[in-house]
Structure 1
Amino acid sequence: MIRRLAAALVLLVAVAPAAHARDQGAPRWELRWNPSPHKDGVAAFEALEDDRRGSHPEGLPHVYAERGAWRFDSHTVDRDGADRQRNEARGMRDGRGRALEIREDEVWRISWQMYIPDTLDATTSFSHVWQLKTSDIGTPVAQLSLPVRGGVQKIEARHWTLADNTTRPFAAHDLEPIQNRWVTTTVEIGASDRGYLRWILQDGRTTLVDQRIDDIDLHWSDEQYNRPKWGVYRSVRSAGLQDTHLLVRDLKAWTLGPVNPPVTLPPPDTSAGAHEAERVGNVFEGAAEPVYCRICSGGRKTILIGGNTYDHTRVRGILSETSGPREMTVHAVVDGAQTFRISVNGADSAEVTMTGTRERVATATVPVTLIAGVNDIRFFNLSARSPELDKIVIR
């Protein structure tokens, strides 16, 4: 008996380290993001889309921290274009101010509590309270939406297929029972060409939904990255819209297993007369924003310029010792033939048409007139999307 017991102990000691090693090697969830409304405020996000068209300045701010939560207000007068409202926060920033990027073949779990009041109803057109998007593609990757299905208000999880720009719902729950109360929602994202999406909805300790869909494409852009968005984004083409809000708290994000290293980007152009489009201090209005660009100097370009009166950018801080004519070379990524309108210091605009392909940076040289001192050049287009601005060089 004693011999058998001793043998068992030896076997246990021999096996335990191997089992422990296997446990140590298994991927584990690592907490990457846990912001505080009190400490971090809206700096927890990459950027705000707070009435970016300027339709309701009296209502500002529409996105802010309040009493331990982030609040997203939406008024019936708010407009983000003719047919929609948008007051959202996009992306995640860690405590050091770095953007957290959901990249290819990474697995993320994002969890939060949300409070949907009964004034935030489902609609017969689109109405979203969370989205997953990549910056250079307008189509969302995934969403939590508030539709009406068969006359019943729902909260619905869906993903999109890019080829046909079609939404694919895969899970839903009745909306009214979870309004006017805090509920917890979790989204797991396998960000690959054959990835997965899982949605969990909980009311206290009760799990209302736990649904997963596999073998779906959740990696759309080799250059950009997926990022979540919270807030109210809805169509005005639904009856009975009210002034409303959404509350979000207890935001957390984890990764499972390895994450990709930071992207290596080209250095900025520091030569005399060069001004990067993404430079701190430049103005990005409407949807215009700087994003990654492997072929651009500084590794970034400004996208979503033009197509309306709202989306434009201004390169600021252009110093000139004298007044007079100069030459400006515009560097941009162009898809076919596209046009900028350029206004120097608010003067009448000139048209600059560029041609090229998305595989290389194109250039165009035009005359500009500067003043002695600090100059400001606005890039816009009222009717169509412009090229994606890399930098300008003034001689």
Structure 2
Amino acid sequence: MKLTRLAGALATLALIATATPATAEPTPSQSGRPRWELRWDPSVRKDGVKAFEALEDDRRGSHPEGQPHVFTDKDAWKFTAHLEDRDGSDRMRNEVRGMRGHDGAPLEIRKDETWRISYRMYIPDTLDATTSFTHIWQLKNSDVGTPIAQISLPVIGGVQKIAARYWTLPDNASHDFATADLEPIQNKWVTTTLEFKSSDDGYMRWTLADGSRTIADQKVEHIDLWWTQEQYNRPKWGIYRSIKSAGLQETYLLVKDLKAWQLGPATPPVKLPAPDRSPGAYEAERVGNVWEGAAEPAYCAVCSGGRKVILIGGNVYDYAVVKGVLSETTGTRKMTVHALVDGAQTFAVSVNGADSIQVPMTGTKDTVTTATVPVDLVAGVNTIRFFSLTARGPELDKIVIS
């Protein structure tokens, strides 16, 4: 039986039957049942890219002269893709992830919640379908690399298509449940809507419309759209494609009129335990620290402060820096690293840019493991970088200097 999120079990939301097309703005229920509540309606001009949790704009630094790859353009958000962009050896990625409310807090799609996300998109004829993967929207969570659902541009039977798909985790396989021809919707604004229930027994409905003409409207039921113990689901927009397909062109994608509704009232924020404020303790997720590449804070039921930093290491790009580490004197101190470890993993640690030392750790993913190493600090403020060039490192909870 799957575990619930950090906040505990959440009440299952009832799905109301409605004849309203998924491309239309939801109308309130008159029966006293849960109704659609508008949760997200960002402004291109006021919110800009801050409408999203984070940018994944050439996070590997492969094409700095092409930055920004994600930006606002008049009344739309624009995602560009150049032939030299890379996010690994065989792919490129320029995306945004997650949604932020007007208060700046992330909007979390949690277990058994039902959401509807609608927007308009412009796909130019340079953004072709490919024989390998090209994704322009994804639903993911930070615990699992496999996407939960996508809108993709595949070539099927020699014909360019736009497809809505979901994934099954046990076999890591994708399943297209709705497709339409791509070429007739290129070089024009079309509206797409995704409605889904993030549940072990969920559903997804995808609609695609050209003005008042419905091109696709398909629903798939009894699918698993909740894979995570602690994290939340979040959408992603942008261009994520393989570079292995022939004939790739420099291209872009435009999206605008983004809106998201939740069925039922907004779920209260997760209440986290207090961080460790004892002398010498520094939480990995503390404001002011640095998380580069894929590294980011995430929920953690067993960690102090209720958070950890994940996806550290495996290359030169994904790392975390703990800043503001104080020392009254220059000299060698003991640093105890608190982390969640999947078997045997190793951090490389560099203090103030000096040569790195190795911190091997052995443990399990559901228990905080510690390792103590000597570190040379200077009097005043120090920075400590956690990385690994060869493999993913542990998930960092905090450090304690003694």
Aligned partner of 1:53 in structure 2 is 60
Aligned partner of 2:80 in structure 1 is 73
1:27-42 pair list within 5 angstroms: 27-42=34-49
1:175-324 pair list within 5 angstroms: 175-324=182-331
Is contact 1:197-1:212 (8 Å) kept?
yes
Q: Which has the larger radius of gyration?
A: 1
Moved more, 226-235 or 293-302: 293-302
- Alignment of 1:170 with 2:177, yes or no, is yes
Q: Aligned partners of 2:267 and 2:47: how far apart in 1?
A: 26
Q: Aligned partners of 1:317 and 1:229: how far apart in 2?
A: 32
Q: Aligned partners of 2:280 and 2:186: how far apart in 1?
A: 56
Moved more, 258-267 or 370-379: 258-267
Q: Paired residue for 2:373, among 366, 379, 385?
A: 366
1:24 is displaced (CA, Å) by: 4.0
Q: Paired residue for 2:158, among 147, 151, 170?
A: 151
Q: Paired residue for 2:146, among 139, 144, 150?
A: 139
Gaps of 5+ in 2: 1-28
Q: Aligned partners of 1:24 and 1:180: how far apart in 2?
A: 42
Q: Give the counterpart letter for 2:341 in structure 1.
A: V
1:283 is displaced (CA, Å) by: 1.2
Q: Deviations over 1:178-220 (max 9, x none)?
A: 0000000000011100000000000000000000000000011
Aligned partner of 1:23 in structure 2 is 30
Q: Give the counterpart letter for 1:141 in structure 2.
A: I
Q: Give the counterpart letter for 2:127 in structure 1.
A: L
Q: Give the counterpart letter for 1:29 in structure 2.
A: W
Aligned partner of 2:26 in structure 1 is none
- Alignment of 1:161 with 2:152, yes or no, is no
Q: Deviations over 1:64-85 (max 9, x none)?
A: 1110100001100000010000
Secondary structure of the equivalent of 1:141?
Answer: strand
Gaps of 5+ in 1: 1-21
Aligned partner of 1:328 in structure 2 is 335
Is contact 1:380-1:386 (8 Å) kept?
yes
Aligned partner of 1:17 in structure 2 is none
Q: Aligned partners of 1:185 and 1:279: how far apart in 2?
A: 37
TM-score by length of 2: 0.92
1:259 is displaced (CA, Å) by: 4.7
1:318 is displaced (CA, Å) by: 1.0
Aligned partner of 2:125 in structure 1 is 118
- Alignment of 1:88 with 2:102, yes or no, is no
Q: Give the counterpart letter for 2:171 in structure 1.
A: D
Divergent runs of 4+, >6 A: none
Q: Give the counterpart letter for 1:236 in structure 2.
A: I
Q: Aligned partners of 1:30 and 1:90: how far apart in 2?
A: 21
Is contact 1:106-1:259 (8 Å) kept?
no
TM-score by length of 1: 0.93
1:260 is displaced (CA, Å) by: 3.5
Aligned partner of 2:107 in structure 1 is 100
Q: Give the counterpart letter for 1:76 in structure 2.
A: L
Q: Give the counterpart letter for 1:264 in structure 2.
A: K
Q: Deviations over 1:118-138 (max 9, x none)?
A: 110011100000000001100
1:258 is displaced (CA, Å) by: 4.6
Aligned partner of 2:24 in structure 1 is none
Aligned partner of 2:387 in structure 1 is 380
Q: Give the counterpart letter for 1:228 in structure 2.
A: P
1:379 is displaced (CA, Å) by: 0.6
Aligned residues: 374
Is contact 1:106-1:258 (8 Å) kept?
no
Q: Aligned partners of 1:258 and 1:35: how far apart in 2?
A: 19
1:222 is displaced (CA, Å) by: 2.4
Is contact 1:122-1:146 (8 Å) kept?
yes
Q: Higher helix proportion, which one?
A: 1
Q: Deviations over 1:320-356 (max 9, x none)?
A: 2211000000000111111111111111111111111
